[in-house]
Chain A
Amino acid sequence: MMNSFKNSFKNTAPLDFSISDHRQQFQKAIEKWQAKLPLEIPLVIDNKKITSSKTFKRENPSYPSKTVAIVSQADKVACDQAISGALKQFPFWSQAPIEQRCHLLTSLADKMEKHRYTLAALQTLEVGKNWPSADADVCEAIDFCRYYAGEMLKLKTPQLTDSILGEESFYSWQARGLSLVIAPWNFPLAILTGMTTASLVTGNTTLIKPAEQSSAVAYKLMELLMECGLPPGVVQFLPGTGEETGAYLVSQKETEMIAFTGSKEVGCAILEKSHQVSSKRNKLKKCVVEMGGKNAIIVDDSADLDIAVEGVLESAFGFQGQKCSACSRAIVAKTIEKPFTERLVSALESLTIGPVEKPENRIGPVVDITAVQKNTRYIKEGKKTSCLVSKEKPLPEEGYFINPVIFNNVPSDSPLLKEEIFGPVLVLIPFTDLDEAIDIANDTEFALTGAFYSRSPERIEKIKKKFQVGNLYINRNCTGAIVKRHPFGGFKMSGLGHKAGGPDYLIQFMNPKVITENTVRRGFSPHLFKD
């Protein structure tokens, strides 16, 4: 069984919604949750559930009058308790046999797959993901578990650095210590699971600070981990606000590393705090951060418009643009700008907006009232300075719905071109020659994803060399990275170049240790005896 996951990793098959049984089970799962709401989400410290007096409510973004969860907040006392418990468990966990830690991950994967409808349906209610997107997120979470388990086994055996007489030098990896995982709400199970399992399987005891908007989904991870026999104190579940719980945890000196996925602003604040060297704090915390993007798709005049229009539509408006990989700029060849824009605008108009419990709604709500306000601000700005080409439709009365928008003729100094909006706002930019398009695409502080639609082999080669992003896609959309197939992560202000779901991710969570032994005693070395 241990060998079975070494090289046989296979991505989890998504649900096939053309099969009526899959649709029915999903519908049932939604109804089951609806009957249970609101959920009470506790802290979990040393595997004990603790309800705190201070709580916050999380509403269903499609129906904000309905409360999905009442979440306990972890205060300083709880955090300190959690940290102390996790520190105590570190020696045990870091020295546990690697197979045991890997087994935890594969058990977790099996449980998640068994409960996939339950896990996905909760996402539909808590963060507004439509059925296929919610299922895709659960698949990704399962993939992370299985993939990292396999990768960790590969790292188990120390590697001989070189073959030399009289000396043995081995390269090995060891856990860092206590790690802090700060997770986002937009891939509420997948990214949280990815960071947490990476931290766990490499031997670190882990504090989880989930996003406020997805604490219920995050809590399911904690529950499943405990069901898999997670020893108490190895993972501490600490929901709360970013400003209070998150900030406090980041500032604690006991953590050796922080794994963060979220906005550039918060990510930079974490990086700054973690690298402060003073007499009080003599540690350099390792940070694995994935921050954001202002991702561009370039559409050449030789592109197949059928797939380019569909690809830009999906990349810009899938999950209402709330993905770090989402396309927010479409850079289109001037000669095809008109037909492309027309087809894109009509295609967008044909997508129905409404609550995502109903599978016919392609565009759901944005995640909370702050997102509504933020998007509205940018859209207002766009209407003042640029040209709105998309049509606005009547919106449902209740819910955090906003009309997805497409702008062109955007002035070059507009924040719409520079700042990450994280919503369904797309900007169209024309270009005449490809070098111009590449310059525009690279003219951003971010470098996360990008795509190029073209049928010219030479232009494709050029783009491959010059388009500066961590994940570049040719003739397909720039979202939907799959574990192992598309290791995900960017550089510049998007991150430090670490790629989740790839072969280099786990080593970020460990310290390398080279042990060199002089094997010569009294002039004799065992190597010489060998033959």
Chain B
Amino acid sequence: MRGGVTILKTLKNETLKNEQDTLLKMGTELFGTLKELQKNPLNKKWWYENIMQWTLANPNFKTALFRFVDVFPSLSKKKDIPLFFKEYLKANNLIPPFLRAGINLLPSSLLSLLISKHTKEIAHLFIAGETPSDILPVLKKIRKNNNAFTIDLLGEATLSEEEARLYQNRYITIMEQMYKQKWNHNPLTDKAENGEYLPVANLSLKITSLESQILTVAWEESKKRLKNKLRILFQKAVDTNTFINIDMEQYKYKTLTLELFKELVSEPAFKYYPHFGLVIQAYLKDALEDLRTFSKFLRNHSSPIHIRLVKGAYWDYELIHSRQNNWPCPVYLNKWESDINFEKCATFILQNYPRLRLAVGSHNIRSITHALHLSQQLNIPKKALEIQTLYGMADAINACLSQNGWRVRQYCPIGAPIPGMAYLVRRLLENTANESFIQSWQNTKNNIADMLKPPAPPPSGI
């Protein structure tokens, strides 16, 4: 009996090893040239890269700089700009050497101009534009590079019905404008696995933008109001052949979002429309269970649902909010736990193809390779899934993937400076977190085999 168990274990270990080997092979094929591609900085990124390097070594500088970036757009007086900049960086001698000379010697007006210019430039690296017309050339360029797009509308917090209405109109306007465009059909980006063409226009919605102060305490009423508002947008999506994705936000809205999504897509007008999507956040301990429940619901549903699997962007908020209330923390505390959960969720989604369709929302080449590799093992056609990356942050990864025939969709935010900055600060924070994948990739001499290892707790003693 024992011998039998050992044999099984050995076989299992061998299978796992074989899997890891084929995964490694696939990952190397895909991303072997990644480091080379990333080594050529475009000129306009030089300041950004220097700042990123400095922030790694100086957490205080990072906090100060990002707080400055956050307040920057609301500084209406030009003379305030260098004042604020100095205020934030004065403490603890935080001004990095390559900036010190400039800050001390330049006249205030010129300094103001430079700071504004550079901050705006950084913003433009990650925000596709301010209005739908700004963004059109950007979208066309993305498609020329054989990538698809999804649009996210940045905005101020919706605090009133008036603001909710304005936001709703923005969503409608963008759907109408996208519909009017004559897009060239690009089989690389637009063809699905069944040969049909996917909608070119792809829009992400946030329920908090549509309703001022959602009250989960008034569950039925809140759900009713949100459904009424979303129904209009869903109908517009069907009329304009737009793909609609519902974003997932703070944990307190998760159950409500899932519930109203299920109810809406079950309505007669929408149940045959195959272009609706939802987000699942892998940093949530509930994620896999939510997927299982959702999958059960889909047994009686007529169309597939697309799932954008992401790690989650509200980690700090969830930790703080749950601690302040003495509630259990809904997110994993360690990055490696989220990474493992990401792979479990991706596995579940792929195993439930074609009912569920996977969009891998990650820049982590291990997470990406794991999903793509598994999809091949499950004989899922390449075009039945896609990888989604953030505009401006993963050009090299995008190139590696699309060159190998995978569909890449870039998540493009549009918005005015002030809300744009909030988005920017979040992205900057993600990119400079010591644990962020991008940092470890750029700053270590790790080889690709190390980067493609399965996620695991760090060895004890560290």
Contacts and interface: CB of A to CB of B under 8 A. Distances in A.
A131 B76 contact: no
A14 interface: yes
A359 B218 contact: yes
| Chain B interface, DSSP helix/strand/loop, else mixed | helix
A527 interface: no
A131 B216 CA distance: 11
Interface in A427-477: 455-458
A305 B216 contact: no
B339 interface: no
Given A13-B325, A360-B222, A306 B217 contact: no
A310 B157 contact: yes
A346 B326 contact: no
B395 interface: no
A214 B325 CA distance: 27
A232 interface: no
A248 interface: no
Contact of A457 (B88, B161, B253): B88
B7 interface: no
Contacts of A362: 213, 215
B336 interface: no
Contact of B159 (A16, A131, A335, A343): A343
Contact of B212 (A132, A336, A350): A350
Given A18-B256, A346-B163, A304 B212 contact: no
A349 B70 CA distance: 29
A505 B253 CA distance: 39
Counting contact residues on chain B (CB < 8 A from A), the size range is 35 or more
Interface in A301-335: 301-307, 309-310, 313, 335
Given A343-B160, A346-B163, A350-B212, A304 B74 contact: yes
A20 B88 CA distance: 44
A18 B252 contact: yes
A358 interface: yes
Interface in B75-127: 75-77, 80, 84, 87-88, 91
A12 interface: yes
A348 B159 CA distance: 9
A346 B74 contact: no
Contacts of B215: 17, 359-360, 362
A492 interface: no
Given A17-B217, A18-B216, A455 B163 contact: no
A294 B76 CA distance: 30
Interface in B121-159: 156-157, 159
Contact of A302 (B84, B219, B222): B84
Contact of A349 (B161, B213, B327): B161
Given A131-B217, A335-B76, A360-B221, A346 B157 contact: no
A347 interface: yes
B70 A455 contact: yes
A408 to B, nearest CB: 18
Interface residues of A, number: 40
A247 to B, nearest CB: 40
A456 B77 CA distance: 14
Nearest to B161: A350
Interface string B181-219: 000000000000000000000000000000011011111
Contacts of A358: 218
Nearest to A348: B160
A347 B160 contact: yes
Contacts of A348: 160
B316 to A, nearest CB: 15
Nearest to B421: A304
Contacts of B159: 306, 309-310, 313, 343, 346-347, 350
A174 interface: no
Contact of B74 (A302, A347, A351): A302
Contact of A23 (B156, B217, B325, B327): B217
Given A18-B216, A20-B219, A457-B87, A305 B255 contact: no
A11 interface: yes
Q: Give the most central of A11, A18, A131: most B CB within 10 Å.
A: A18
Contacts of A13: 325-327
A28 B293 CA distance: 28
A346 B162 contact: yes
A346 to B, nearest CB: 3
A10 interface: yes
Interface in A348-369: 348-351, 358-360, 362
B71 interface: yes
B326 A10 contact: yes
Nearest to A461: B87
B217 A456 contact: no
Contacts of A305: 74, 156
Contacts of A14: 325
B87 A458 contact: yes
A11 B216 contact: no
A478 to B, nearest CB: 17
Contacts of A306: 156-157, 159
A175 to B, nearest CB: 33
B383 interface: no
A349 B160 contact: yes
Nearest to B156: A306
B74 A301 contact: yes
A309 B213 CA distance: 12
B67 interface: yes
Given A18-B255, A360-B218, A458-B87, A302 B75 contact: yes
Nearest to B159: A347
A359 B87 contact: no
A310 B213 CA distance: 9
B208 to A, nearest CB: 11
Contacts of A301: 74-77
A458 B83 CA distance: 10
Interface in B30-88: 67, 70-71, 74-77, 80, 84, 87-88
Contacts of B212: 347, 350
Q: Give the most central of B70, B156, B218: most A CB within 10 Å.
A: B218
Contact of B217 (A12, A307, A359, A457): A359
A335 B217 CA distance: 37
A17 B80 CA distance: 43
Contacts of B91: 457
B458 to A, nearest CB: 30
Contacts of A131: 217
Contact of A17 (B67, B71, B87, B216): B216
Contacts of A336: 74, 76
A80 B71 CA distance: 63
B154 to A, nearest CB: 12
A457 B164 CA distance: 32
A302 B71 contact: yes
Contacts of B161: 346, 349-350
Contact of B87 (A20, A304, A456): A456
B67 A455 contact: yes
Interface string A82-96: 000000000000000
19 contacts: A13-B325, A132-B217, A301-B74, A306-B156, A309-B159, A310-B157, A310-B159, A336-B74, A346-B162, A349-B162, A350-B164, A350-B212, A351-B213, A359-B218, A359-B221, A362-B215, A455-B71, A455-B84, A456-B84
Given A301-B75, A310-B213, 10 more contacts: A14-B325, A16-B325, A17-B216, A18-B256, A347-B213, A348-B160, A350-B164, A360-B215, A360-B222, A457-B88
Interface of B: 67, 70-71, 74-77, 80, 84, 87-88, 91, 156-157, 159-164, 212-213, 215-219, 221-222, 252-253, 255-256, 325-327
Q: Which 8 A-B pairs have the closest CB atoms?
A: A346-B160, A360-B218, A17-B217, A13-B326, A455-B71, A306-B157, A18-B216, A360-B221
